[in-house]
Chains A and B, each alone.
Chain A
Amino acid sequence: MLSYDYVKCSDLKQAFDVLKTNEHALPLAGGTDLMVGMRGGKFTPRLLVDIKGLEELKVLKEDDAGITIGAAVTLNQIALFEPIVRHAAPLAEGAHSVGSYPIRNRATLAGNLCNASPAADTAAPLYSLGAVIKLIGPNQERSMPIEEFFLGPGKTALQKGELVRSILIPKPYPAGKGVYMKASRTGSVDLSTVGVAVQNWDGKVRIAVGAVAPTPVRALAVEKAINEGGEKDWAKAAKLVHDDISPITDLRGSREYRYHIAEVLVRRGLEQTVGV
């Protein structure tokens, strides 16, 4: 059995106090990555700071600013939240594709992002929706676009002692369809080999691809060809995704396969969101 201490926080201040005074403390929300990582030796905390019960982090609401998803909100809650299903379909689909149903009853969006896997199924959707990450530390709060949050595999812009407070899908919402498409070895309980989010913004598109670079990436070459160049041939436009990605070979797929499947998924995504 692993040896560490545990504290269940009753408010954010307590969480920051505990995190600040303990060098080897880690926050615990859903725990679905953390528990596996601890067992495998990836994480070796001396103290787990349980933040999942904090009311401030359980917020899931829609208001004038958009849709706010607190750090303790689970992926199943997100996949079923009506404003997300209606206005942020790629996120609902991405959340629904993570792990399995029981995993999604525990796993959180914030945890999926903080784990910072380039293959995180909720990340590409957030890139396509222009999401904003709200961070909170002992002394200040700050916000940043999702693109600035991901720095590399396992690396985020979070500073020591800081927590993700919430994720905002800002208004105005995209006027158009959006999808998340995932290629994986099995139908569930697998990370994506490639994940593609395509969002139609009133005729313009915003496309993001996961598991093909050190972080999720925007398919900017494809976007430019369509949004600025007026390209209507989706097969031709999708080929440009090769310029945007730098995949590696791993157990889920070869570099060459990832180039191919990214192109295929981008084309299908365009067909489904902007039309054949």
Chain B
Amino acid sequence: MTKKITINFSVNGDRETREAVVGQTLLKFIREELHLSGTKEGCEIGECGACTVLLDGKPVNSCLVLAVELDGKELVTIEGLSKNGELDRLQQAFVEKFAFQCGYCTPGMIMSAKALLDRNSDPTDEDINVALSGNLCRCGAYQEIREAIKASAKK
């Protein structure tokens, strides 16, 4: 029998009560239950960062968190950044600096970068390297990603 647990949480500012299947990852829950497909599935072992989301303001690999652990927490996904159809300035900076090619890593990159800028409004290259150490880009857009983050920080 599949066991379910009722969880209360907020997602991108909205309060929700849902049933989560025990054993389901937060990543699957976000994509398949909340139908927010911006968060990507990559390696599923915490090495690529494509699934990065903010849990209580901190970036985590949603593939390494259980959906039931969301209870009582605040979740922000890439969908939570734009307001009224307008990209936020970090997203806009990624567009302006061509900070992606295929775009698969981009939601995770932006969530890690957002968490960095929330705690450090003027990051150095080293700060950016550490904050994004868990996000891989197979197209190799790292240089542009760093520029986009710096450009966003300056605004």
Is B44 an interface residue when CB atoms closer than 8 A count as contact?
A: yes
A1 near B23: Cβ-Cβ < 8 Å: yes
A102 near B60: Cβ-Cβ < 8 Å: yes
Is A39 an interface residue when CB atoms closer than 8 A count as contact?
A: yes
Is B141 an interface residue when CB atoms closer than 8 A count as contact?
A: no
Q: Interface size (B, Cβ < 8 Å)?
A: 35
Q: Mark A164-192, 1 if CB is under 8 A from B, else 0.
A: 00000000000000000000000111000
Q: What interface size band does chain A fall in?
A: 20 to 34
B134 near A189: Cβ-Cβ < 8 Å: yes
B134 near A35: Cβ-Cβ < 8 Å: no
Would you list which residues of chain B between 117 and 152 have a CB under 8 Å from chain A? 129-135
Q: Mark A1-29, 1 if CB is under 8 A from B, else 0.
A: 11111101000000000000000000010
B5 near A99: Cβ-Cβ < 8 Å: no
Is B37 an interface residue when CB atoms closer than 8 A count as contact?
A: no
Residues in A neighbouring B3, C-beta threshold 8 A: 5-6
A6 near B2: Cβ-Cβ < 8 Å: no
Nearest-Cβ distance from residue B117 to partner chain A, whole angstroms: 13
Is B61 an interface residue when CB atoms closer than 8 A count as contact?
A: yes
How distant is the Cα of A187 from the Cα of B132 in the complex, in angstroms?
Answer: 12
Assuming the contacts A101-B131, A103-B134, asked whether A32 and B46 have C-beta atoms less than 8 A apart, the reply is yes
Q: Mark B41-81, 1 if CB is under 8 A from A, else 0.
A: 00011110100100100111101111011010000000000
Nearest-Cβ distance from residue A43 to partner chain B, whole angstroms: 13
B134 near A102: Cβ-Cβ < 8 Å: yes
Nearest-Cβ distance from residue A249 to partner chain B, whole angstroms: 23
How distant is the Cα of A125 from the Cα of B40 in the complex, in angstroms?
Answer: 36
How distant is the Cα of A106 from the Cα of B58 in the complex, in angstroms?
Answer: 9
A6 near B61: Cβ-Cβ < 8 Å: no
Assuming the contacts A100-B133, A101-B131, asked whether A35 and B59 have C-beta atoms less than 8 A apart, the reply is no
B64 near A105: Cβ-Cβ < 8 Å: no
Residue of A nearest to B69 (CB): A50
Nearest-Cβ distance from residue B58 to partner chain A, whole angstroms: 5
Assuming the contacts A6-B5, A32-B46, A100-B49, asked whether A188 and B63 have C-beta atoms less than 8 A apart, the reply is no
Nearest-Cβ distance from residue B48 to partner chain A, whole angstroms: 9
Residue of A nearest to B51 (CB): A102
B24 near A6: Cβ-Cβ < 8 Å: no
Contact of A102 among B22, B25, B61 (CB under 8 A): B61
Residue of A nearest to B3 (CB): A5
Residues in B neighbouring A100, C-beta threshold 8 A: 46, 49, 133-135
How distant is the Cα of A188 from the Cα of B52 in the complex, in angstroms?
Answer: 16
Is B21 an interface residue when CB atoms closer than 8 A count as contact?
A: yes
Residues in A neighbouring B28, C-beta threshold 8 A: 1
B68 near A99: Cβ-Cβ < 8 Å: no
Residues in A neighbouring B46, C-beta threshold 8 A: 32, 35-36, 99-100, 102-103
How distant is the Cα of A48 from the Cα of B24 in the complex, in angstroms?
Answer: 13
Would you list which residues of chain A between 31 and 62 have a CB under 8 Å from chain B? 31-32, 35-36, 39, 48, 50
How distant is the Cα of A15 from the Cα of B76 in the complex, in angstroms?
Answer: 30
- CB-defined A-B contacts under 8 Å, sample of 6: A4-B23, A6-B66, A32-B46, A35-B65, A101-B134, A102-B61
Residues of A within 8 A of B (CB): 1-6, 8, 28, 31-32, 35-36, 39, 48, 50, 99-103, 105-106, 187-189
7 tightest Cβ-Cβ pairs between the two chains A and B: A100-B134, A188-B133, A100-B133, A102-B59, A6-B22, A105-B58, A35-B64
